[in-house]
Amino acid sequence: MNPKLVNANQLIGEFQGLIRQAVGAGCKITLRTDDRLWLCHVDPALLETALLNLVLNARDAMPDGGVLEIATQNIVVEEDAVAGCPAGPYVMLSVTDTGCGMSPEVRDRVFEPFFTTKEVGKGTGLGLSMVYGFVRQSGGHIAVDSTAGVGTTIALYLPRAAQGPDAEEEASQTQAMPTGSERILVVDDNEDLLKVTSEMLAIFGYQVSSAGNATDALKMLQAEQDFEFLFTDVAMPSGMSGVELAREVKRVKPSIKILLTSGYAREILERQNAVDEFPIIAKPYRLAEVARRIQAMLHES
């Protein structure tokens, strides 16, 4: 984790284009944000991934359209006011949908890794377990309020940052959403990250395929010659590493552009003598940053 002082409103603002495209035209989106929101101390890349996971779940719950509301609010939780949440000041970020809702049985299991009610290939069951892990590691709390047939609210309570006098927000920057249409192969053994990253790139217009390990990735690259970009994790437990994959792909198809990612980039790359060989983006990454890097690399000659 790489926590920073984060203004959740700003993060949502930067992310709005992606959220709109993710839920599609069938859903109305409303933002209800507190203008004087406190800062929280969290890893912004992980908050972004968590938010996208919540939004994608809301989209999946509203196949026939509906309303998605994203809200932020300062809240001081009193002792025993919110079950399981320690008393204190929090920034609350909630995502509400008017979708299918959950039965109490489903509701009780949503944070279990691999628990999904979606068909094979659609759900990994890892979204909410990731969100839960992130919130708990940040010292926060997560609350699920859902009624079958009515809708769902998932609220993240992120501890208010203890601000020193020199704590300053990073300059606000609204970024244009990068788009493209090229064929990209994404490889990562972390299923949830693979899914969220692939969905994000597909939302930006790319034709995305994904693989959970290097062997599958090589098979896909051999079966289809037209991939223009490979975005791969470096450290994968089984078989070939991302660096070995990148070298093999480059050998067979020299024109392909390759971007690596890793949670411990430097050490691993140094061990494999690949520091200057391929560009790399450190994990956890900001989704928009990945999209920008990919777009820039596709357009450089």
Ligand X SMILES: Nc1ncnc2c1ncn2[C@@H]1O[C@H](COP(=O)(O)OP(=O)(O)O)[C@@H](O)[C@H]1O
Candidates 97, 188, 199, 233; binder of ligand X (CB under 6 A) is: 97
Q: CA–CA distance from 215 to each of 221, 239, 274 (Å)?
A: 10, 7, 20
The answer to the question of residue 198 lying near Mg ion (CB under 5 A) is no
What is the CB neighbour count within 10 angstroms for residue 110?
22
Binders in 98-117 for ligand X, by CB under 6 A = 99-102, 106, 110, 115-117
Give the residue among 46, 145, 135 at the shortest CA–CA distance from 97: 145
The one segment of 13-21, 26-34, 122-130, 177-185 that binds ligand X by CB under 6 A: 122-130
What is the CB neighbour count within 10 angstroms for residue 58?
28
The answer to the question of residue 66 lying near ligand X (CB under 6 A) is no
What residue spans of the chain are helical by DSSP H?
A: 8-23, 44-61, 104-107, 127-137, 191-203, 214-223, 242-252, 265-271, 287-299
The answer to the question of residue 127 lying near Mg ion (CB under 5 A) is yes
> Between 128 and 194, whose beta carbon lies closer to ligand X?
128
Candidates 7, 9, 49, 57; binder of Mg ion (CB under 5 A) is: 57
Q: Are the C-beta atoms of residues 137 and 47 closer than 8 Å to each other?
A: no
What tokens does 60 get?
């999946």
What residue spans of 138-204 are helical by DSSP H?
A: 191-203
The answer to the question of residue 232 lying near Mg ion (CB under 5 A) is no
Min CB(249)–ligand X separation in Å: 29
In single-letter form, the type of residue at position 291 comes to A
For residue 121, with 0-12 CB atoms within 10 Å meaning exposed, 13-18 middle and 19 or more buried, which class applies? exposed
> Between 200 and 268, whose beta carbon lies closer to ligand X?
200
The answer to the question of residue 125 lying near ligand X (CB under 6 A) is yes
Interacting partner of 152 out of Mg ion, ligand X, none (Cβ under 5 to 8 A depending on kind): ligand X
> Between 80 and 105, whose beta carbon lies closer to ligand X?
105
Interacting partner of 110 out of Mg ion, ligand X, none (Cβ under 5 to 8 A depending on kind): ligand X
- Interface with Mg ion by CB under 5 A: which residues? 57, 127
- Interface with ligand X by CB under 6 A: which residues? 53, 57-58, 61, 97, 99-102, 106, 110, 115-118, 123-129, 152
